[in-house]
């Protein structure tokens, strides 16, 4: 094949030179003008077909979706909407596309719901190509942020014998015959005959393994797929998603908040600096969608304004106890407008409460700390009792963003062996199965802290999409494991 130049690069290439481009036809107008895209950028290259040089049979095969190779002369464009155009001298059809059956017709913008049904083809739309490039930028940005701060990337296992969250909502991994598994005398399944010789599951978090590494390497982070067998059929939940989890030795809760805030601001700014064209497109797309909604349901901010909103000021930091008082006395709570009314200390905050604090009360991102111990995981450091607080709390933190609610959850970890053992006993977590984890508290324990960022939630926020199933190529959720 001839050496080709990417569409993104041809816009800055020298004119009056010959180039070869390859891509897919977005539109073909008047049997003369091809809009060509190769996925390298949002913009299409206009190709002018020289009818004296291209035969009729080839022209008939130039249809939306077809894959083609074009060689021609790059010239300054005389038309509107583009600075340069390619005058085609040769066109080769690499792959035909039947316009009668091709499901993506750009004349009528297909709905997001429809595109989820053909997820294998939706990359070919402007929206999903833009989302994919923004996602790649954020992915690289995460590695850059931690690499520049001398963190070590640790690959935590996907198959695990422990439940980091203690919730039990895990996908089981087995090679046993599920219709006729071997059993013990008491009728329970004999996992000693399974591949690993014990019951195993897909991981819900790499945190516990990250702690092991941090307590030797100092600064580490994991970044990989995680799985939750939680039947949450919502616009913010997935059964399979990517999680990024840093863990830092000698950090306390305040250090943890600083790291998380610095990281989020870095990533948002990184996207704004490196994805201008794609974010501008996604912003206009959001504006167009908002016009179809009732005025009361429209967002108060554009996408760019929402992103800059998170950069403008330091995040507001307050305790869960302070937040409960604000919510209890809020107008929506007093007028019964919350779906889940806040009545007393100990309530598990919902997205509507988190968004009220961010969007209405403080008008900035919020970090909530010191949650009730009863609604948090076993590994979170137990706080000393405080006057005016209704029950025991832990050194946990959640970062809340506009339009999305919780985007990061983390804590200072319980480094004191006696307190950790007691908490595990209260939550019925068998200490003998976690002896490897407890060894870090037996041998040279130190304060440490970390957090988890659901990567797709970050992408959801930065792209302005409203359903998390639209920011992952092949979403997994209850009842769906297509492609």
Residues 411 and 331 in one domain: yes
The pLDDT value recorded for residue 164 is: 63
Banded model confidence at residue 1, pLDDT cuts 50, 70, 90: low
> What CATH number is attached to the domain comprising 97?
2.40.50.140
Residues 283 and 351 in one domain: yes
Residue 166 has pLDDT above 80, yes or no: no
Burial group, residue 390, by CB count within 10 angstroms (0-12, 13-18, 19+): exposed
For residue 377, tell me if it sits in a domain.
yes
Banded model confidence at residue 84, pLDDT cuts 50, 70, 90: very high
- What is the Cα–Cα distance from 375 to 349, expressed in whole angstroms? 10
Residue in the structure block whose two tokens are 């059809």: 93
For residue 119, tell me if it sits in a domain.
no
For residue 120, tell me if it sits in a domain.
no
Q: Under a CB-based contact definition with an 8 Å cutoff, are residues 55 and 70 in contact?
A: no
Residue 75 has pLDDT above 70, yes or no: yes
Residues 152 and 29 in one domain: no
Tokens for 275? 């994805």
Residues 247 and 153 in one domain: yes
Total domain count, the chain: 2
For residue 480, tell me if it sits in a domain.
no
Q: Under a CB-based contact definition with an 8 Å cutoff, are residues 248 and 256 in contact?
A: yes
For residue 441, tell me if it sits in a domain.
yes
| Out of 171-185, 227-241, 390-404, least confident range | 227-241
Supply the DSSP string of 255-308, one letter for each residue.
Answer: HHHHHHHHHHHHHHHHHHHH-HHHHHHHHHHHHHHHTTS-GGGS-SS-HHHHHH
Residues 70 and 159 in one domain: no
Residue 167 has pLDDT above 60, yes or no: no
Banded model confidence at residue 231, pLDDT cuts 50, 70, 90: confident
For residue 174, tell me if it sits in a domain.
no
Residues 304 and 444 in one domain: yes
For residue 191, tell me if it sits in a domain.
no
- What range does the domain containing 243 cover? 126-169+204-470
> What is the pLDDT averaged over residues 295-315?
89
pLDDT tens per residue, range 15-56: 999 999 999 999 999 999 999 999 999 999 999 998 889 999
- What is the Cα–Cα distance from 238 to 251, expressed in whole angstroms? 30
Residue 108 has pLDDT above 80, yes or no: no
Residues 82 and 131 in one domain: no
For residue 121, tell me if it sits in a domain.
no
The pLDDT value recorded for residue 2 is: 66
> What CATH number is attached to the domain comprising 441?
3.30.930.10
Dihedral sign for Cα atoms in the order 288, 289, 294, 296: negative
């Amino acid at each position: 094949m001839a050496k080709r130049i990417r569409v993104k690069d041809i816009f800055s290439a020298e004119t009056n030179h010959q180039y070869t481009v390859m891509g897919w036809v977005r539109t073909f107008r008047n049997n003369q003008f091809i809009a060509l895209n190769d996925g390298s950028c949002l913009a299409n290259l206009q190709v002018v077909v020289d009818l004296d040089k291209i035969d009729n049979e080839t022209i008939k095969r130039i249809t939306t979706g077809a894959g083609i190779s074009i060689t021609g002369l790059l010239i300054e464009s005389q038309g509107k909407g583009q600075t340069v155009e390619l005058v085609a001298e040769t066109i080769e059809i690499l792959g035909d596309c039947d316009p009668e059956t091709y499901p993506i017709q750009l004349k009528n913008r297909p709905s997001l719901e429809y595109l989820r049904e053909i997820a294998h083809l939706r990359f070919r739309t402007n929206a999903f190509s833009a989302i994919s490039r923004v996602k790649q930028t954020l992915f690289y940005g995460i590695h850059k942020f931690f690499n520049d701060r001398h963190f070590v990337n640790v690959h935590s296992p996907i198959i695990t014998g422990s439940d980091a969250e203690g919730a039990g909502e895990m996908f089981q991994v087995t090679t046993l015959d599920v219709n006729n598994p071997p059993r013990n005398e008491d009728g329970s399944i004999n996992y000693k005959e399974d591949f690993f010789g014990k019951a195993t599951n897909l991981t819900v978090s790499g945190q516990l393994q990250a702690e092991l590494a941090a307590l030797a390497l100092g600064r580490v982070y994991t970044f990989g797929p995680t799985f939750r067998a939680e039947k949450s059929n919502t616009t913010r939940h997935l059964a399979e998603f990517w999680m990024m989890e840093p863990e830092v030795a000698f950090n306390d809760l305040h250090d943890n908040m600083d790291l998380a805030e610095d990281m989020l601001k870095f990533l948002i700014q990184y996207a704004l600096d490196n994805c201008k064209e794609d974010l501008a497109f996604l912003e206009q797309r959001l504006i167009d969608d908002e016009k179809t909604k009732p005025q009361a349901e429209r967002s108060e901010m554009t996408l760019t304004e929402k992103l800059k909103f998170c950069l403008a000021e330091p995040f507001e930091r307050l305790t869960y106890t302070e937040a409960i008082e604000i919510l209890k006395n809020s107008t929506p709570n007093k007028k019964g407008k919350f779906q889940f009314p806040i009545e007393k200390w100990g309530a598990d905050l919902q997205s509507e409460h988190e968004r009220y604090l961010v969007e209405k009360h403080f008008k900035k991102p919020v970090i909530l700390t010191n949650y009730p111990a009863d609604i948090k995981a076993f590994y979170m450091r137990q706080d000393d009792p405080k006057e005016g607080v209704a029950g025991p709390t832990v050194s946990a933190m959640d970062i809340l963003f506009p339009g999305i609610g919780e985007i990061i959850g983390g804590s200072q970890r319980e480094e004191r062996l006696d307190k950790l053992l007691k908490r595990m006993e209260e939550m019925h977590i068998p200490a003998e199965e976690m002896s490897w984890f407890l060894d870090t508290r037996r041998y040279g324990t130190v304060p440490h802290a970390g957090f988890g960022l659901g990567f797709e939630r970050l992408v959801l926020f930065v792209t302005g999409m409203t359903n998390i199933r639209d920011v992952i190529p092949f979403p997994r959720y209850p009842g769906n494991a297509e492609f």
